[in-house]
Amino acid sequence: MGFQPGKGLGKDLQGISAPIEAHLRKGRGAIGAYGPEKGQKVAEVKADSEEEEMKEYSEILSQWRKGDKGKKTKVRYVYKSVDEVLEEGKSKKMKKEYSHLSKVKVIDMTGPERRVLSGYHAIAGQQRPTDEWEIRKEKKFENFALPELQHNLNILVEMCEQDIIENDKRLRYAKDRIVALEQEESSLGKLVSQEKEQVAALESLLSVIESITEKGENELTLEKAAECFNDLKENYYEAYKMYELGELAVGIVAPLLKKRLEETWKPLDNPKGSEELQNIFRQWRDMLEWSGRSGSNSISADMDGGMADPYHRLIWEAWMPSIRAAVSEWNCRGKCEVMIEILEAWMPLIPSWVLDSICDRLILPKIQAAVECWNPLTDTVPIHAWIHPWLPLLGSRLEIVYPTIRQKLSVALVNWHPSDRSARLMLTPWSKAFPKGDMDAFLVKNILPKLQVALQEFQINPHQQHLDQWNWVMEWVDLIPIHIMTTLLEKFFFPKWLQVNLY
């Protein structure tokens, strides 16, 4: 009929094979009072084949632990490759097992007994204390659970993984370090080769400099010195700028150039000098002047501070002695144009602060001394003839002598009479040189009183009119301010004129 032991009846094997049986209730309670009422189960018939019996027998022999009969524990092994360990280590925070805290002994008193652990990491491997009922339940397994062994094995696995990750880090660091060292070696090799080239260039440069310095003044000429320094600048330009080799020219060339000037140039006789002489200075200016440095207008900043340009120092030590000698012999009252011509001719070749030094320390003191000795009553050469030509060069510097000039003119005008036209000829050139306020005050103090006296003496007579006093006053209209002249006429002329016209 197709019946199989242990299975049901019917097509789908769902029918019961045992008949419904009555069963005895335990007490006198109603139906359902004692739970489901089921009869005693009939032992299930199991298929008993030789293969299953041999399998069960082999399982029983292999299971040596007590209480595990009929159970099969399948051990699952997981193998990780080095790449997998490294990949997991990127996102996994590594434990600091090798720090100084890992070597500290830890006393654990959280349990019923005090325990001494090897470190804080051992606490993480502890199991939670179990309740009493769990202890009774698993009492028969306590000899074989071995949690400490499992924890130690896990620690060993983690330590091994950490060692793999750390070794990989060290390996990558070592590789990066090798690449960096190779690059550093390459750069240092290039640097060494550059240094060797520089050393060779400096040795060659030093030999050239020694050949220049060893030559005496008799052997070295300006032409040879210019050729040597020109070669230095063209062949060793970087070193020439870096080590400021132009400074050598001051000590070597200055004596030669000074000697040449003393022999060939007399400034008062030949203000411009020869074209050859100016070409020599142009040549040294191109070789020595520092085009990148801004010039200073302070002598103390350039000379006393030791910050002068080599060409500027060459001018100061070679060219300036000739100018000092010329100024000492120069007569500023008779030959002012000569000195002006000298300065204008050499102005493109000399620094601005050198020109200022000449004007402030040489020319201006000479002019001051001449003004102090000037007498407007006896000198035949008017003072403006040798002062005004200096206005373009000296400018406001001449204001230092203006008070002395006005004082001397005031003394000369004490006995002056308006009929003397020399006073007007003497003061007219100063109308634009003196400041306007100073000039007006000077005229009011020294000229206006004389004109008032002239108008007071002026007589208006229509029958026989003499206009001498009137003409003397009108000659000063261009110099005296219009409002002052108007006041003068209103006070001393118009009353007389109105009186004559009315009568």
Question: Is 342 inside any structural domain?
Answer: yes
Whether 147 is in a domain gets the answer: yes
Helix (H) or strand (E) holding 257: helix 247-264
Backbone angles phi, psi at 103, to 5 degrees: -95, 0
CA pair distance 265, 276, nearest whole angstrom: 11
Instruction: Report if residue 27 sits inside a domain.
Output: no
Is 352 a domain residue?
yes
**290 close to 309: Cβ distance less than 8 angstroms:** yes
pLDDT at 43: 46
> Phi first, then psi: what are they for 15, rounded to 5°?
-80, 155
Strand, helix or coil for residue 231: helix
Paired strand residues for 107: 116
CA triplet 28, 32, 35: central angle to 5 degrees?
Answer: 105
The residue assigned the tokens 């690449």 is 179
Write down the pLDDT at residue 289.
Answer: 75
Predicted local distance difference test score (pLDDT) of residue 31: 66
Q: Give the integer Cα–Cα distance in Å for 232 and 213.
A: 13
What are the residues whose beta carbons fall under 8 Å from the beta carbon of 311, sequence distance 6 or more?
Answer: 246, 284, 285, 288, 289, 290, 351
Q: In DSSP terms, which residues pair with 108 in a beta bridge?
A: 115
Round to whole Å and give the CA distance between 430 and 422. Answer: 14
- Mark whether 175 and 146 lie in a shared domain: yes
Domain boundary among 168, 194, 214: 214
Do residue 301 and residue 255 come from a single domain? yes
Same domain, 362 and 238: yes
Q: What pLDDT was estimated at residue 300?
A: 45
Tokens of 70: 């009929």
Tens of pLDDT, residue by residue, the chain (503 residues) = 566 666 677 767 777 766 666 666 666 666 666 666 665 554 444 444 566 667 666 666 555 555 444 455 566 777 778 788 777 777 666 555 545 555 677 788 887 778 877 766 666 555 555 455 455 555 555 556 677 888 888 888 888 888 888 899 999 999 999 999 999 999 999 999 999 988 888 888 888 888 887 775 567 888 888 888 888 888 888 888 888 888 888 888 999 999 999 999 999 999 888 888 999 999 999 888 764 443 444 444 444 433 568 999 999 999 999 999 999 999 988 888 999 999 999 999 999 999 999 999 999 999 999 999 999 988 888 999 999 999 999 999 999 999 999 999 999 999 899 888 889 999 999 998 999 999 999 999 999 988 888 888 877 777 777 788 888 888 888 888 889 888 888 888 888 878 777 76
Can you give the pTM of this predicted structure? 0.60
The total domain count for the chain is 3
Distance CA 368, CA 377 (A): 19
Residue 263 lies in a domain: yes
> Do 229 and 193 lie in a common domain?
no
Same domain, 232 and 198: no
Distance CA 412, CA 410 (A): 5
Two tokens at 437? 């306020």
Largest Cα–Cα distance of the chain, in whole Å?
A: 187
Question: Which of 373, 391, 416 is the endpoint of a domain?
Answer: 373
H or E element, residue 49 = none
Q: Is residue 299 located within the same domain as residue 340? A: yes
Residues 268, 209 within the same domain: no
Is residue 461 within 8 A of residue 497, CB to CB? The reply is: no
Where b means 16+ CB within 10 Å and e means fewer, 263-292 reads eebebeeebebeeebeebbeebbebbbeee
Domain ranges, residue 349: 225-373
Write down the pLDDT at residue 257.
92
Cβ-contact 248, 233 below 8 angstroms: no
